């Protein structure tokens, strides 16, 4: 899977749902990794097609995939080792994976709801606040 592949899949699903829903409002709801996918797709619809999605709901969001990788608890033991940033965090960028939710939401003109539990065991709430 790739960032562009995820976005393409969501846009195809949006087209399918829109063709069957008539004038019904469609919203994107993303959870964790899905928050980056949802904001990417909403931004692409807005900028490339002039379509404003009904709303975007982000549950346990992160600013971008690099920040998420640097802050999830599973990477804590590896952060102390030399090369962690290069091998893990930078490799995502080299693979074209950014998922810049923080940048995407700045340009969205649709309603946005952010949900993030204070006791989230995967992504720290500070990333949700920064979005």
pLDDT, tens digit (0-9, with 9 covering 90-100), for 112-129: 999 999 999 999 999 999
Q: Tell me which of 3.20.20.70, 1.10.40.30, 3.40.50.1820, 3.40.50.720 is the CATH number of domain 3-130.
A: 3.40.50.1820
Taking phi first (over 0 means left), then psi (-120 to 50 degrees means alpha), and beta for anything else, what does residue 52 get?
beta
Q: What is the mean pLDDT of residues 80-85?
A: 92
**What residues form DSSP beta bridges with 115?**
59
The two beta strands, 112-115 and 55-59, are parallel
Q: What is the mean pLDDT of residues 41-54?
A: 98
Predicted pLDDT at 1? 79
Looking at the chain, the whole-number percentage of residues with pLDDT higher than 90 is 94
DSSP state of 46: I
pTM metric for this prediction: 0.93
List the domain boundaries for the chain.
3-130
Cα Rg of the chain (Å, integer)? 16
Residues 54 and 25: beta-carbon distance below 8 Å: yes
């Amino acid at each position: 899977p790739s960032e562009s592949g995820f976005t393409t899949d969501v846009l195809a699903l949006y087209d399918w749902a829109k063709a069957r829903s008539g004038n019904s409002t469609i919203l994107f709801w993303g959870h964790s990794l899905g928050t980056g996918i949802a904001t990417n797709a909403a931004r692409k619809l807005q900028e490339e097609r002039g379509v404003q999605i009904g709303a975007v709901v982000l549950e346990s969001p992160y600013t971008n995939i690099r920040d998420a990788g640097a802050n999830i608890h599973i990477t804590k033991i590896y952060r102390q080792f030399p090369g962690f940033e290069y091998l893990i965090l930078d490799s995502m960028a080299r693979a074209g994976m950014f998922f810049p939710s923080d940048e995407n939401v700045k340009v969205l003109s649709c309603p946005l709801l952010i949900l993030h539990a204070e006791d989230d065991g995967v992504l720290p709430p500070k990333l949700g606040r920064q979005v």
